Structure 1
Amino acid sequence: MATTSSDLGKTLWAAADVLRQKMSADAYKDYLLGLVFYKALSDKYLIKVVDLIENRKDVSLEEAQKLYEDTAQNSEDWKILCEELQKDMGCIILPEHTFTAFYNQINEGSFLLENLSQAFRNIEQSHGNHYDGLFDDFDISSKDLGKNVMECNKMISSVIKALEGIDFSQYSDDALGDAYEYLIGQFASESGKKAGEFYTPQAVSKLIAKIVTQGREKKDGFSVYDPCCGSGSLLLQVKNYMYKQDNVDYSRLVHFFGQEINNQTYNLARMNMMLHNVSSGYQHLNNGNTLSLDWPVDEPTNFDACTMNPPYSLKWDAQPSLITDVRFSRYERLAPKSAADYAFLLHGFYHLKTDGVMGIVLPHGVLFRGSAEGTIRQHLLEDGSIYAVIGLPANLFFNTPIPTCVIILKKNNPSRDVLFIDASKDFVKEKTRNILTDEAIDKILLAYKERKDIDKYAHLASYKEIKENDFNLNIPRYVDTFEEEEPINIEDTFKEFENICKEEHELSNSLNDYFKELGLTFRMEV
């Protein structure tokens, strides 16, 4: 058995081999992640069964399965057990529908995909809406799985068999959640451009999470909002930096709010939250269009932190009537139809508390483009809303090679100065992508905390300086990273050239002697 979350993640990824041979990463992502989630839920469910019946947890899944099946034969005990399971787990998984039962049915040759679908439907239809629609995208009849029912059945059976050897109940919630995050990251790596729809690289998520929680690690009931939450990876990073100790674990008290337009990705975020043991009372996710549908509109509507990695320069329906929308009306102009970057930024900023902190990833164009974006940027700077601009290396993201920046916003920056950090050169190369290392993140955080000039790296620009630059925030205007080239010694260069010519002459003579020995008339020019 895998022993760490890293080992578990790699073991789970290996289970995708049978799917990987048949379909693209974007297609098999939903099948593997859905089955991993279901097995994790089923394994915990079986252990809970034994805990409720015999008040112990040191049991194998097979033993727990047998006890569950035996209890189901006693109507009185079964009824009481189901009531307790519904209360503790939020759903009922029938004995014949557990992951372990399906594995046994495969070995017996009696497994049917329709029974798996029924198990999913039973969970989705549990009391309350915690699991509602969770498996919408798990299509057992998809041609991606096979040409007919028999082939589909065989394909899913292969994945179930690959996963069965892992007992998810043996892992902590953090380890299981981290392994699931690892899987999502692997899918992002293989999905190319589609990765931007559901995943923010962990290093970027870590940087933003550390900034928005700084100094507030012990805040009870801390709330974080991501209007373009994808798989929830950026949201969930926040809990890693909340204060933890034996009697108080503030990471368990974080309220997560997120909206996602893509239904597949929305359900992926829900599964991700559950596997990280975020209880239903602390996860508040919505499937909707952030720009056309302001959410949330019921209490609470403002949050301690806002994190966001929206789709860059997305076209949007910038109807003139939206200028009266409370999210945008303060800024005189709407973001242009060709680039919704500032629409996303203003939406998130509107939902930030007065003492909140927002971190958003955007392309560099938002720092200097004119027209409507220039007007919006000027208003933000006049209000003192932009607190810092951090330039990141190019090629960090799976879906685009362009360099990006993180803009930090606050509503309480009376000095109106802006810290500029140029971290564009702080990366290591890993295969085809650049990686922001922990050392680079720590360097950024230190500069962010100290908020002072660092030669060729950081500059604290006054409002006056920014105004003199016509509210242009292009980082090179404020951080000079130019390195003078070492002067060339002409005499040494000519000596080197002379040596090269001499070596070439000697090599030509040697080759001509060799040609002569071979009886060839060809000669190299000397």
Structure 2
Amino acid sequence: MSEEQRRQLQQQLWNIANTLRGKMNADEFRDYILGFIFYKYLSEKIQRYADSMLEEDGLKFAGLDENSVEGAEYIAAVKDATVKELGYFLKPSELFHAIALKGNNQADTHAQGEGHNFILGDLTRILKNIEQSTLGTDSADDFNNLFEDLDLTSSKLGNSEKAKNELVTKVLIHLDQIDFNLSDATADVLGDAYEYLIGEFASGAGKKAGEFYTPQPVSILLAKLVTSQNLNLKNVYDPTCGSGSLLLRVKREAAQNYKIKIYGQELNRTTYNLARMNMILHDVHYADFDIRQENTLEHPQHRDLRFDAIVANPPFSAHWGANPLFMSDDRFSVYGRLAPGTKADMAFVQHMVYQLADDGIMACVLPHGVLFRGAAEGHIRQYLIEQLNCLDAVIGLPANIFYGTSIPTCVLVFKKCRKNPEDILFIDASQHFEKVKTQNKLLPAHIDKIVSAYSQRTNEPKYSHVASLADIKANDYNLNIPRYVDTFEAEDAIDLNAIAAQLSELEQASKTTDATIAAFCLELGIKPPF
């Protein structure tokens, strides 16, 4: 698929999504359209797999008769294979195309009378059946309550059952006409389109966008940083994974011949469902990802694991429990202090450092306050540098690159076994961006420059500086970037004699103009205004 065709697909899906826009807010119609796309994907995925099984018998899965003995036998065999391989099952009558046809009143049905094209009940039952087909299997956790945000009884879809049915049918018919090109296993066209939609929803969601989406350029930067010195990652972890886009970006940047296991945790239930859908849509096998829904700081779900790579964009300065009982938690106890209850930034850092493998690398986005705030945060910062010596780099990003906040942010890179244990690299990339509408955006050239500076670890005037630990100690462990990267621009010298000459010329020109005006006033017989 060409780039132009890819863009056309993305625009088609966005246009279909806008069919729902007038009925509900961005968060709500996001959940519906992404849920319907996911249902279509599951249908086409299972249909392709089943057709390959039935090819020798000259049969097509969609054409199997569910009411015949022979058809039922074939369907049972397909179910056993697909649940084991794909993790779920759909019957031929439950496929997306069949339901779209019924809604469009074209299905081969014996139903009579008004309402035979009513599909809301069928759709609700099918989505529940997908979840139930996984019960007792290894994929059960990944499909459990996956469609719970797709409420087809909601009044937001219409004021009557007929109106709801018409709207949903309209969306399904439009989606049914789109080819997701699943036959091209290398293209990931649908995955890209899904990411595009999530990004579009985020751009219109304001402050809430930060709960589920990291802008793609920032995801690319973090992924390139954690793979810059090791592509052969066995696993990757995000403790605040949102929709999972950041984790998927690391998978894309890592070596493709390695099967990387993806781990994530997310507090918001709706976003957690979105992350699981995102994994499956990007063809990540259910056995290769483990996304959990819980509060990471209060109830970590993967605390016994250690990770080759950790990436995160935690909620900035979030509140957390900061219960004194956490002083007996291995994640925090060695520091002797807890992050303040109104600013969990350092608590997330402590949690991630604890989960990082000895030879792993971690990159996380944080507000600038973590670089210089004192009290408990200053104590934790000093411990990370002085005792653990795990902070490898501090990277300043431009302001206004995240949805819903214009504050400048930074990326902190951590390693437990550093090749350069005597210094910390500082990069000031805050002035390197392109203005796009109301947002600032990192372009590929900006990202490559940051990654190159990190890898080469060299001093570049007004951009990067390798600071010794002694210098950092002298600054009382304050990591504010301007203390280390001098971006001062000297103002041009002012020639006072030239300025005096210009003023004299202006004065003379003013007198000439006054004389001209006075002459005009005299001709008109009026008094000059001066």
Decide: shared fold, TM above 0.5: yes
Alignment equivalent of 1:313, drawn from 303, 313, 317: 317
> 1:315-334 to 2 correspondence within 5 Å?
315-334=319-338
Count of aligned positions: 510
> Is there any run of 5+ residues in structure 1 with no aligned partner, and where?
none
Q: Are 1:74 and 2:78 matched, yes or no?
A: no
Contact 1:65 1:100 in 2 (8 A): no
RMSD of aligned residue pairs (Cα, Å): 2.9
Contact 1:5 1:176 in 2 (8 A): no
Match of residue 369 from structure 1: 373
Compute the displacement of 1:141 (Å): 1.5
Match of residue 380 from structure 1: 384
Compute the displacement of 1:68 (Å): 6.9
Alpha-carbon spacing, 1:446–1:33, altered in 2? closer, same or farther (3 Å): same
SS at match of 1:15: helix
> Is there any run of 5+ residues in structure 2 with no aligned partner, and where?
106-115
How far apart, CA to CA, are the structure 2 residues paired with 1:481 and 1:56?
72
Alignment equivalent of 2:356, drawn from 352, 356, 368: 352
Alpha-carbon spacing, 1:426–1:73, altered in 2? closer, same or farther (3 Å): same
Q: Are 1:421 and 2:421 matched, yes or no?
A: no
Alpha-carbon spacing, 1:134–1:485, altered in 2? closer, same or farther (3 Å): same
SS at match of 1:405: strand
Match of residue 483 from structure 1: 489
Deviations along 1:295-342, one digit per CA (max 9) or x if unpaired, are: 2145xx100011010001111111111111000011110000110000
Match of residue 157 from structure 1: 169
What TM-score, normalized by structure 2, do the two folds share? Answer: 0.89
Compute the displacement of 1:179 (Å): 1.3
Alpha-carbon spacing, 1:487–1:235, altered in 2? closer, same or farther (3 Å): same
Contact 2:79 2:89 in 1 (8 A): yes
How far apart, CA to CA, are the structure 2 residues paired with 1:56 and 1:442?
52
Compute the displacement of 1:432 (Å): 0.2
Deviations along 1:22-81, one digit per CA (max 9) or x if unpaired, are: 222111110011011111111222222322212599x9xxx8634577988733333333
SS at match of 1:307: strand
Alpha-carbon spacing, 1:296–1:490, altered in 2? closer, same or farther (3 Å): same
SS at match of 1:74: helix
Worse overlay, 163-172 or 452-461: 163-172
Alpha-carbon spacing, 1:313–1:392, altered in 2? closer, same or farther (3 Å): same
SS at match of 2:406: coil
Alignment equivalent of 2:125, drawn from 98, 118, 123: 118
Match of residue 203 from structure 1: 217
Alignment equivalent of 1:100, drawn from 87, 97, 102: 97
Alignment equivalent of 2:151, drawn from 139, 156, 167: 139
What TM-score, normalized by structure 1, do the two folds share? Answer: 0.90
Match of residue 108 from structure 2: none
Match of residue 85 from structure 1: 82
Deviations along 1:470-512, one digit per CA (max 9) or x if unpaired, are: 0100101111101112223344445656677788889999999
Q: Are 1:343 and 2:344 matched, yes or no?
A: no
SS at match of 1:424: coil
Residue 466 of structure 2 aligns to which amino acid in structure 1? L
How far apart, CA to CA, are the structure 2 residues paired with 1:284 and 1:511?
82
Worse overlay, 8-17 or 363-372: 8-17
Q: Are 1:29 and 2:30 matched, yes or no?
A: yes
Worse overlay, 329-338 or 101-110: 101-110
Residue 166 of structure 2 aligns to which amino acid in structure 1? K
Residue 141 of structure 1 aligns to which amino acid in structure 2? T
Compute the displacement of 1:9 (Å): 1.9
Q: Are 1:40 and 2:60 matched, yes or no?
A: no
Match of residue 411 from structure 1: 416
Alpha-carbon spacing, 1:137–1:484, altered in 2? closer, same or farther (3 Å): same
SS at match of 1:346: helix
Worse overlay, 19-28 or 425-434: 19-28
Alpha-carbon spacing, 1:523–1:369, altered in 2? closer, same or farther (3 Å): farther
> 1:224-373 to 2 correspondence within 5 Å?
224-244=236-256, 249-250=257-258, 253-298=259-304, 301-373=305-377
Match of residue 53 from structure 1: 54
SS at match of 1:38: helix
SS at match of 1:372: helix
SS at match of 1:144: helix
Match of residue 477 from structure 2: 471
How far apart, CA to CA, are the structure 2 residues paired with 1:504 and 1:67?
94
Compute the displacement of 1:161 (Å): 1.8
Contact 1:49 1:68 in 2 (8 A): no
Alpha-carbon spacing, 1:297–1:480, altered in 2? closer, same or farther (3 Å): closer
Contact 2:101 2:173 in 1 (8 A): no
User: Percent same amino acid among aligned pairs?
Assistant: 45
Residue 226 of structure 1 aligns to which amino acid in structure 2? D
SS at match of 2:242: coil
SS at match of 2:164: helix
How far apart, CA to CA, are the structure 1 residues paired with 2:168 and 2:527?
68
Match of residue 179 from structure 2: 167
How far apart, CA to CA, are the structure 1 residues paired with 2:287 and 2:512?
81
Alpha-carbon spacing, 1:485–1:95, altered in 2? closer, same or farther (3 Å): same
Alignment equivalent of 1:441, drawn from 441, 444, 447: 447
Compute the displacement of 1:372 (Å): 0.4
How far apart, CA to CA, are the structure 2 residues paired with 1:522 and 1:144?
72
